[in-house]
Structure 1
Amino acid sequence: MNLPLDLSRVHFPVTTLGPGRRLGIWFQGCSIRCPGCISADTWGSGRHRTTVGQLLDKVQPWLAEADGITVSGGEPFDQPEALLELLEAFRQRSGIDILVYSGYPREQLAETLGRADGLIDALISDPFDRQQPQSMALRGSDNQRLNLLTDLGRERFADFERPLRPDDHALDLMVDDDGSVWMAGIPARDDLLRLRDLLRNDGHSLQISADTASRSASGNLPE
Structure 2
Amino acid sequence: MDLSLSRVHFPVTTLGPGRRLGIWFQGCSIRCPGCISADTWGPGQRRVSPAQLLEQIAPWLHQAEGITISGGEPFDQFDALISLLQGLRRLSQVDILVYSGYSLEQLDNQLSQTNGLIDALISDPYDEALSQSMALRGSDNQRLTLLSPLGQTRLANYERLLTATDKALDLMFDETGSVWMAGIPQRGDLLHLRDLLRDQGHQLQISAHASRRR
Q: TM-score range by the shorter chain?
A: over 0.9
- The one of 143, 146, 149 equivalent to 1:145 is 143
Distance 2:47 2:210 in 1: 20
Tell me the CA shift for residue 176 of structure 1: 1.0
The answer to whether structure 1 residue 106 and structure 2 residue 90 are counterparts is: no
Of the candidates 176, 187, 190, which is equivalent to residue 188 of structure 2?
190
Q: Which residue of 2 aligns with 1:220?
A: none
Q: Distance in 2 between matches of 1:141 and 1:210?
A: 14
Instruction: Pick one of 143, 157, 160 that aligns with 1:159.
Output: 157
Match of 2:116 among 115, 118, 124: 118
Which of 168, 172, 180 is the equivalent residue of 2:166? 168
Structure 2: which amino acid aligns with 1:23?
L
Counterpart of 1:129 in structure 2 is 127
List alignment gaps of at least 5 residues for structure 2: none
Report the AA paired with residue 200 of structure 1: R
Please tell me whether residue 62 in structure 1 is matched to residue 56 in structure 2.
no
In structure 1, how many angstroms separate the alpha carbons of the residues matched to 2:38 and 2:175?
A: 21
Return the match for 1:74 from 40, 58, 72. Answer: 72
How far 1:213 moved relative to its partner?
1.7
Name 1:206's counterpart in structure 2: 204
For residues 150 and 35 of structure 1, what CA distance do their matches in structure 2 show? Answer: 32
Instruction: Provide runs of 4+ in structure 1 moved above 3 Å.
Output: none
Identity, in percent, stands at 67
Residue identity matched to 2:109 = E
Corresponding residue for residue 6 of structure 2: 8
> Residue deviations 1:158-201, cap 9 Å, x none?
11000000000100001111110000000000100010111011
Shift of the alpha carbon at 1:68? Answer: 0.4
2:178 is matched with 180
TM-superposed CA distance for 1:47, in Å, is 3.4
- Compute the displacement of 1:111 (Å): 1.2
1:33 matched to 2:31? The reply is yes
Report the more deviating stretch, 92-101 or 44-53.
44-53
- CA distance in structure 2 between the aligned counterparts of 1:16 and 1:47, rounded to whole angstroms: 27
1:49 is matched with which residue: 47, 61, 80? 47
What pairs with 1:92-103 in structure 2 (closer than 5 Å)? Answer: 92-103=90-101
CA distance in 1, matches of 2:176, 2:101: 30
Alpha-carbon deviation of 1:211? 4.2
Q: Secondary structure at the match of 1:162?
A: coil
TM-score (norm 2): 0.98
What's the Cα RMSD here? 0.9
Distance 2:168 2:41 in 1: 24
CA distance, structure 2, for counterparts of residue 75 and residue 28 of structure 1: 7
Amino acid at match of 2:153: E
Q: Which secondary structure state, in structure 2, belongs to the residue aligned with residue 54 of structure 1?
A: helix
Q: State the TM-score, normalizing by the size of structure 1.
A: 0.94
Code of the aligned partner of 2:171: L
Equivalent-residue separation in structure 2 for 1:144 and 1:53 (angstroms): 31
Partner Cα distance (1:210, 1:4) in 2: 28
In 1, Cα distance between equivalents of 2:212 and 2:105: 30
